[in-house]
């Protein structure tokens, strides 16, 4: 599920209003321990924030499941420039920073809180709210260079595998991948690059160079909730996460490029010529 730009603007307006409320308490943002965190050329800062968890241990176990899932899927498994953090808000602080909503996203976050994350990290990041009692997951359709919000409703998932795949799906949205699903939730995503084409001509332009190399990439009907649109693979984490084990070659290429610092891309290009 992803949110359109229109919804994003509505959210932004709400954030502005909340900005004038009284300040949130002080909070700490801590590097997540026991994981590799290279600060040089960091492109992927993930900040995990618990909501309604009964204990810190349960939250930490869940975060470990998600980090492990990143280590096991392409292209994240080959990235050395990711950093992971967590925030632990008191119940009172969480009550000030987060507000439940009937619309998307199901939880609104104070804009000054989000801005302070960038300030503290001196970089952009993805804020991931793990809602222990929620059952709705969603993410803004965003990009690697923008700060954006991911909400994971923990109750939605029947087991750890499903939970991890649901997270990867939403993370894909927050980095720019479109919903390849056939349902009405997927229809919230407009078609476009890199993985959903409104016409076959557009599909050929977007990923035609990857067809014919193995059997996976082609022009398959159904994407962004419309059976007439095209997607590049039959199964993908951006389609039905439970029935897929990876993002597929087209999405992996896009993510690899989006998460690789420009300086490294340039050097690779030089060494190829
Ligand atoms: Zn989706």
Q: How far is the CA of 36 from the centre of ligand 1 (A)?
A: 28
Q: How far is the CA of 1 from the centre of ligand 1 (A)?
A: 3
Q: How far is the CA of 3 from the centre of ligand 1 (A)?
A: 9
Per-residue confidence (pLDDT) for residue 132, from 0 to 100? 95
Per-residue confidence (pLDDT) for residue 11, from 0 to 100? 29
pLDDT band at 272 (very low <50, low <70, confident <90, very high): very low
pLDDT at 219 exceeding the cut of 70 = yes
Query: pTM for this structure?
Result: 0.83
Q: How far is the CA of 248 from the centre of ligand 1 (A)?
A: 15
pLDDT at 54 exceeding the cut of 60 = yes
Q: How far is the CA of 26 from the centre of ligand 1 (A)?
A: 33
Q: How far is the CA of 23 from the centre of ligand 1 (A)?
A: 33
pLDDT tens for residues 146-184?
Answer: 889 999 999 999 999 999 999 999 999 999 999 999 988
pLDDT at 39 exceeding the cut of 60 = no
Domains in the chain, start-ordered, CATH in brackets?
A: 2-176 (3.40.390), 179-244 (no CATH)
Q: How far is the CA of 226 from the centre of ligand 1 (A)?
A: 14
pLDDT at 263 exceeding the cut of 70 = no
- Which of 201, 199, 200, 183 lies closest to 238 in space, CA to CA? 183
pLDDT at 207 exceeding the cut of 70 = yes
Q: How far is the CA of 50 from the centre of ligand 1 (A)?
A: 21
Q: How far is the CA of 264 from the centre of ligand 1 (A)?
A: 30
Q: How far is the CA of 91 from the centre of ligand 1 (A)?
A: 29
Q: How far is the CA of 72 from the centre of ligand 1 (A)?
A: 20
Per-residue confidence (pLDDT) for residue 135, from 0 to 100? 92
Per-residue confidence (pLDDT) for residue 218, from 0 to 100? 96
Per-residue confidence (pLDDT) for residue 35, from 0 to 100? 45
Per-residue confidence (pLDDT) for residue 1, from 0 to 100? 52
In the sheet that holds 138-140, the strands lie side by side as 2-3, 138-140, 148-153, 126-131, 44-51, 82-87, 29-31
The Cα–Cα gap between 76 and 72 comes to: 8
Q: How far is the CA of 162 from the centre of ligand 1 (A)?
A: 14
Q: What is the average pLDDT across 184-196?
A: 92
Q: How far is the CA of 197 from the centre of ligand 1 (A)?
A: 16
Q: How far is the CA of 185 from the centre of ligand 1 (A)?
A: 7
Q: How far is the CA of 214 from the centre of ligand 1 (A)?
A: 27
Per-residue confidence (pLDDT) for residue 124, from 0 to 100? 84
Q: How far is the CA of 12 from the centre of ligand 1 (A)?
A: 21
Give me the chain's average pLDDT, please. 82
Per-residue confidence (pLDDT) for residue 213, from 0 to 100? 72
pLDDT tens for residues 67-116?
Answer: 999 999 999 998 877 888 998 888 888 888 998 888 778 888 988 888 88
- More confident site: 16 or 111: 111
């Amino acid at each position: 599920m992803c949110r359109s730009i229109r919804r994003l603007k509505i959210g932004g307006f709400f954030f502005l209003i909340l900005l004038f409320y009284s300040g949130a308490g002080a909070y700490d943002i801590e590097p997540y321990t026991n994981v590799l965190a290279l600060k040089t050329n960091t492109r992927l800062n993930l900040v995990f924030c618990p909501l309604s968890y009964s204990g810190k241990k349960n939250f930490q176990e869940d975060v470990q499941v998600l980090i492990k899932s990143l280590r096991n899927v392409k292209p994240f498994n080959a990235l050395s420039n990711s950093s992971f953090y967590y925030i632990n808000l008191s119940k009172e602080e969480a009550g000030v920073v987060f507000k439940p909503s009937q619309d998307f996203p199901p939880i609104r976050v104070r804009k000054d809180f989000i801005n302070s994350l960038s300030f503290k990290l001196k970089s952009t990041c993805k804020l991931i709210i793990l809602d222990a009692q929620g059952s709705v997951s969603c993410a803004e359709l965003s990009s690697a260079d923008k700060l954006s919000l991911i909400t994971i409703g923990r109750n939605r998932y029947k087991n750890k595998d499903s939970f991890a795949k649901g997270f990867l799906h939403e993370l894909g949205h927050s980095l720019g991948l479109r919903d390849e699903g056939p349902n009405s939730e997927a229809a919230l995503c407009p078609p476009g690059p890199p993985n959903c084409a409104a016409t076959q001509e557009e599909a050929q332009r977007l990923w035609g160079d990857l067809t014919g190399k193995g059997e996976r990439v082609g022009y398959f009907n159904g994407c962004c909730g419309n059976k007439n649109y095209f997607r590049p693979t039959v199964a993908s984490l951006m389609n039905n996460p439970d029935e897929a084990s990876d993002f597929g070659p087209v999405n992996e290429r896009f993510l690899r490029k989006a998460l690789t610092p420009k300086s490294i891309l340039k050097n690779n290009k030089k060494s190829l010529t």
